[in-house]
């Protein structure tokens, strides 16, 4: 799925947005996109249970007209349960069954993992910023390291999150990334302007968009 939205041109646009934002500030921005933050096995489990219930109900209705053996009722339950579990692999159905709060937690945890995977907690001035999107869930997270988070405030991060999420909902996550990175860069330039004399002002992390399947 990430490859469908992020061809070479789209990746270059995001990379250029990171470079432009970092040129104005001491922020070290890393953009990460993943296909999915969790496998959500409970979605298929729920679908199977619902299917078994539907199968049992259908069998009981049929039994009022054509008496069924217990084995036939069980077969109906299992067959419909398996069918529902297979249908749960379809993204729109899986999102409903996974449930919003569960997906919110999964995306947040995956973003925290990405923050450490890409060394954003190791910058010289504590100015690492993660701009993260999980495509399946259509959710975004923006995280800043200790040196930057206390000055930026929740409103600044939320603005970037909203811009990135809006891009995903439009089916254009690359533009969402560029808008979010530009917004983050503008706020970073206010609080952490880049000066030639500032220590630790070099480019510490690669600017390229990181595309992961999970």
**pLDDT tens, residue by residue, 4-20:** 678 889 899 999 999 99
Whether 31 has a pLDDT exceeding 70, the answer reads yes
Report the percentage of the chain scoring pLDDT > 70. 86
Whether 71 has a pLDDT exceeding 70, the answer reads no
Residue ranges of domains in the chain? 2-38+101-212, 41-98
Q: Which of 32-36, 45-49, 146-150, 187-191 has the highest mean pLDDT?
A: 32-36
**Quick check: 204 and 28 in contact, CB under 8 A?**
yes
CATH architecture of 2-38+101-212: Roll (3.10)
Q: Tell me the sheet residues that pair with 140.
A: 133
Over range 114-138, report the average pLDDT: 90
> What is the model's pTM?
0.84
Whether 116 has a pLDDT exceeding 60, the answer reads yes
Q: Residue 13 burial (CB < 10 Å; 0-12/13-18/19+)?
A: middle
**How far is residue 144's CA from residue 146's CA, in Å, rounded to a whole number?**
7
Q: Nearest Cα to 126, choosing from 145, 143, 111, 99? A: 145
**How far is residue 155's CA from residue 103's CA, in Å, rounded to a whole number?**
22
Please give the structure tokens belonging to residue 114.
Answer: 């990405």
**How far is residue 123's CA from residue 202's CA, in Å, rounded to a whole number?**
10
Q: How confident is the model at residue 113 (pLDDT cuts 50, 70, 90)?
A: very high
**How far is residue 180's CA from residue 174's CA, in Å, rounded to a whole number?**
10
Report the percentage of the chain scoring pLDDT > 90. 38
- Give 29's DSSP letter: E
Please give the structure tokens belonging to residue 127.
Answer: 């100015």
Residue 107 is predicted with a pLDDT of 96
- 111 CA to centre of own chain: 8
Whether 104 has a pLDDT exceeding 80, the answer reads yes
Q: Nearest Cα to 153, choosing from 196, 190, 122, 178? A: 190
Q: Let me know how long the chain is.
A: 214
């Amino acid at each position: 799925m990430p490859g469908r939205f992020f061809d070479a041109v789209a990746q270059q646009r995001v990379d250029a947005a990171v470079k432009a934002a970092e040129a104005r500030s001491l922020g070290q921005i890393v953009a990460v996109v993943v296909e999915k933050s969790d496998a959500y096995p409970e979605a298929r489990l729920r679908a199977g249970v619902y299917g078994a219930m539907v199968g049992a109900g259908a069998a009981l209705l049929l039994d009022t007209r054509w008496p069924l053996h217990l084995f036939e009722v069980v077969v109906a339950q299992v067959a419909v349960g398996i069918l529902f579990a297979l249908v749960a692999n379809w993204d729109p159905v899986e999102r409903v069954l996974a449930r919003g709060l569960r997906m919110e937690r999964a995306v947040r945890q995956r973003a925290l993992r990405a923050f450490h995977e890409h060394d954003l907690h190791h910058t010289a001035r504590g100015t690492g910023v993660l701009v993260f999107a999980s495509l399946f869930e259509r959710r975004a997270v923006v995280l800043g390291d200790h040196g930057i988070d206390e000055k930026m405030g929740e409103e600044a991060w939320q603005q970037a999150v909203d811009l990135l999420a809006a891009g995903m909902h439009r089916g254009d996550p690359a533009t969402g990334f560029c808008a979010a990175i530009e917004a983050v860069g503008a706020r970073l330039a206010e609080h952490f302007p880049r000066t030639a004399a500032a220590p630790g002002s070099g480019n510490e992390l690669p600017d390229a968009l990181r595309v992961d399947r999970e």
